[in-house]
Amino acid sequence: MVVSEQRRAVGVFSDRQQAEQALNELKASNFSMDKVSLIAKETEEGDQLGGTQVSERIGNQNVESGTAVVADAATSSAWGSVLVGLGSLAIPGLGPLIAAGSVGVALVTTLAGIGLGTLATGNLVKALTDLGISQESASAYADSLEQGDYLVIVDGTQEEIGRAEAVFSNGGIQNWAIYNSPQV
């Protein structure tokens, strides 16, 4: 039995349309979208994200203060129909972030749980290095995210990462790099 080494690739898209188009193309190529995560700064509550209204309510239930989620319409939106687990959290020092995919949601949730008295950007860099990303690259990704870029993370075998890279390269991804995925 051959065991494939898992890898993690990370890159950024500078605009939402590029990110949406590339993710839709990746999905259309039958890529397993549960291996893809996205993190991005959100605009304002009440704005649309890929056609989905962002709010602090799910149905008639309020969500914890400081936490926003994407309403049920996410499954029919451009993001929600492509990515798994689309949600949004307000992170002190960074503002509201959207996250999708297991790695993206876990990373943003971890950031939300860290104390308010610490520098959020430093926490983001630490969280990214915990994912196996080098310190220098993690700092660059955190800066890109803070400037409004869309951070994409793909987990998979070398072959899967290569497939994603081909689609994302055509879509204009920047700072694409591949890392060894830390063992759980």
- Residue with the bigger pLDDT between 109 and 177: it is 177
Residue ranges covered by each domain of the chain: 7-179
CA 88 to chain centre: 10
Give the Cβ contact number of residue 22 at 10 Å: 22
Could you give the dihedral angle defined by the CA atoms of residues 169, 140, 4 and 81, in that order, rounded to the nearest 10 degrees? -60
- In this prediction, residue 3 carries a pLDDT of 54
pTM for this predicted structure: 0.73
Q: What is the share, in percent, of the chain residues with pLDDT greater than 70? A: 61
Average pLDDT over residues 59-67: 36
- In this prediction, residue 127 carries a pLDDT of 84
- Residue with the bigger pLDDT between 124 and 140: it is 140
- In this prediction, residue 160 carries a pLDDT of 95
Phi-psi region of 132 (alpha: psi -120 to 50; beta: other; left: phi over 0): left
Taking the alpha carbons at both ends of the chain, their separation in whole angstroms is 20
Is 167 in contact with 25 (CB distance < 8 Å)? yes
Mean pLDDT of the chain: 73
Is 105 in contact with 46 (CB distance < 8 Å)? no
Sign of CA dihedral 9, 40, 52, 113: positive
